[in-house]
C-alpha cells in the first residue's frame, strides 16, 4: 500500500502539471509540459548523464568530507573544555553567515573546478552535523552519566561507552537534514562558476531558451536529492536496528 502511494503521488503531480499546460496553453519556453521534458531527458541523455556524473562525484566527496569534519569537531568539543571555550563562539559566528553567500568567495579562492563545489557541500554538511551531534553528546542519560562520574571514569571512556552510543541517532537526524541542503550547495557552486555539472547545464539551457532541457536537469537534481535523502534514512534505520 505504501509503495502504491509513492507511485500515485508523483503520477498525480505529473497529470496536474500536464493538464495545467494544456488548459492554459502556456508557451513551452515558459513552462514545458512533462511530456516535452521527458522527451528532453531522452534526447539529451548523454549530456545530462555526463553533467550529472560531475555533480554526483562532487556531492559525494563533499558529504564525506563534511561528515568527517563535523564528527571530529563534535568529538573534540565534547572531550576538551579548552576546545569548547575557543571553538564554540567561532562556530556560532560562522553559522550566522549564510553558507550560500560564501559561494563566490570559495570559487574565487579555489577556482571553477571540482574543489570549490566539494568545499561548498562540505560546509553545508559540516555545521548541522557538528551542532546536532555535539548537543547530543553533551546530553547523555543522567543515570549512566552519574554512575560514570561516581566511578571516576576517564573522559574518553565515558565518551565511548555512554555519550557516543546515545548520540548516534541524533547524528543520523543531522545527516538527513544536511542531505536535503547538500544538492542545493553543489548547484549553487556550479551556478557561480563551473564548466560542468547540472547547475552549469541549467544556466546554459536557460541562456539558449532550452527550457525543456533546463527542466530535465532540474528533474534529475530532484531525483538525486530524493535518492540521497532515502539512502541516509535507510542507513539510519539499519544502524538503529543494529
Domain boundaries, the chain: 59-241
Enumerate residues 6+ apart whose C-beta is below 8 A from 197. Answer: 51, 54, 55, 58, 117, 186, 187, 190
- 59-241, superfamily in CATH? MetI-like (1.10.3720.10)
Q: Does residue 191 contact residue 203 with C-beta atoms inside 8 Å?
A: yes
Q: How far apart are CA 99 and CA 181, in angstroms?
A: 11
Q: How far apart are CA 178 and CA 64, in angstroms?
A: 12
Tally Cβ neighbours within 10 Å of residue 44: 18
Q: What is the pTM of this model?
A: 0.86
Tally Cβ neighbours within 10 Å of residue 191: 16
pLDDT of amino acid 142: 80
Tally Cβ neighbours within 10 Å of residue 31: 16
Q: Average pLDDT for consecutive 10-residue bins of the chain (242 residues)? A: 63 84 87 91 95 94 93 91 85 76 88 92 88 88 74 78 84 80 89 89 91 94 87 74 56
Q: How far apart are CA 210 and CA 85, in angstroms?
A: 53
Q: Does residue 179 contact residue 230 with C-beta atoms inside 8 Å?
A: no
Is residue 44 classed as helix, strand or coil in its secondary structure? coil
Amino acid at each position: 500500500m505504501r509503495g502504491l502511494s509513492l507511485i500515485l503521488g508523483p503520477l498525480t503531480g505529473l497529470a496536474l502539471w500536464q493538464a495545467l499546460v494544456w488548459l492554459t496553453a502556456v508557451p513551452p519556453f515558459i513552462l514545458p509540459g512533462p511530456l516535452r521534458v521527458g522527451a528532453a531527458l531522452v534526447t539529451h541523455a548523454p549530456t545530462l548523464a555526463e553533467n550529472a556524473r560531475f555533480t554526483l562525484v562532487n556531492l559525494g566527496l563533499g558529504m564525506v568530507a563534511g561528515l568527517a569534519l563535523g564528527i571530529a569537531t563534535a568529538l573534540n568539543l565534547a572531550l576538551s573544555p579548552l576546545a569548547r571555550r575557543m571553538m564554540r563562539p567561532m562556530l556560532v559566528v560562522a553559522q550566522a553567515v549564510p553558507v550560500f553567500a560564501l559561494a563566490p568567495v570559495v570559487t574565487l579562492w579555489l577556482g571553477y573546478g571540482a574543489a570549490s563545489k566539494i568545499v561548498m557541500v562540505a560546509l553545508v554538511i559540516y555545521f548541522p552535523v557538528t551542532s546536532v551531534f555535539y548537543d547530543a553528546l553533551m546530553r547523555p542519560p543522567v543515570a549512566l552519566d552519574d554512575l560514570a562520574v561516581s566511578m571516576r571514569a576517564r573522559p574518553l571512556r565515558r565518551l565511548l561507552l555512554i555519550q557516543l552510543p546515545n548520540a548516534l541517532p541524533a547524528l543520523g537526524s543531522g545527516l538527513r537534514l544536511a542531505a536535503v541542503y547538500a544538492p542545493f550547495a553543489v548547484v549553487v557552486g556550479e551556478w557561480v562558476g563551473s564548466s560542468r555539472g547540472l547547475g552549469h547545464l541549467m544556466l546554459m539551457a536557460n541562456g539558449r531558451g532550452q527550457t525543456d532541457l533546463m527542466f530535465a536537469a532540474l528533474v534529475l537534481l530532484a531525483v538525486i536529492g530524493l535518492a540521497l535523502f532515502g539512502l541516509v534514512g535507510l542507513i539510519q534505520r539499519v544502524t538503529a536496528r543494529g
